[in-house]
A = this chain, B = another copy of it.
Amino acid sequence: MSSHATVEAQVSDRQLVETRRGEIVRAAVKLFSERGYYSTTIQSIAREAGISVGLVYQYFREKDDLLYLSLKDVLETYEREIPQALEGVTHPLERLRVAIRTYCRVVDRLRAATVLTYRSTKSLRPERRRYIMDGETRTNRLLEGCLRECVAEGFMHPVNGPLLVYQYVHFAHAWALKRWAFKRRYTLESYVREGFKLLVDPFLTAKGRRVRR
Task: Fill in one digit per residue for A26-48: 1 if any B CB lies within 8 Å of its CB, else 0.
Answer: 00000001001111000000000
Name A203's closest neighbour in chain B (CB-CB).
Answer: B202
Task: Fill in one digit per residue for A175-211: 1 if any B CB lies within 8 Å of its CB, else 0.
Answer: 0011011000100000000110111001100000000
- Interface residues of A, CB < 8 Å — how many? 35
Can you name 17 extra interface pairs (CB under 8 A) apart from A38-B39, A118-B118, A167-B199? A33-B122, A36-B38, A36-B122, A36-B123, A38-B38, A119-B119, A119-B122, A133-B180, A159-B197, A159-B198, A163-B195, A164-B198, A167-B167, A167-B170, A167-B171, A170-B171, A202-B202
* Count of identical protomers in the assembly: 2
A40 to B194 Cα, complex, angstroms: 41
With a cutoff of 8 Å between Cβ atoms, the chain B residues found around residue A37 in the complex are 36, 38
Q: Check: A137 CB closer than 8 A to any chain B CB.
A: yes
With a cutoff of 8 Å between Cβ atoms, the chain B residues found around residue A203 in the complex are 202
Q: Check: A17 CB closer than 8 A to any chain B CB.
A: no
A163 to B196 Cα, complex, angstroms: 11
Known A37-B36, A122-B119, A159-B198; contact A174-B170, beta-carbon cutoff 8 A: yes
Q: Check: A57 CB closer than 8 A to any chain B CB.
A: no
Q: Check: A160 CB closer than 8 A to any chain B CB.
A: yes
With a cutoff of 8 Å between Cβ atoms, the chain B residues found around residue A137 in the complex are 181
Q: Which 5 pairs of residues, A with B, have the shortest CB-CB distance?
A: A38-B38, A202-B202, A170-B170, A118-B118, A119-B119
A204 to B201 Cα, complex, angstroms: 13
With a cutoff of 8 Å between Cβ atoms, the chain B residues found around residue A166 in the complex are 174, 178, 181
A37 to B163 Cα, complex, angstroms: 31
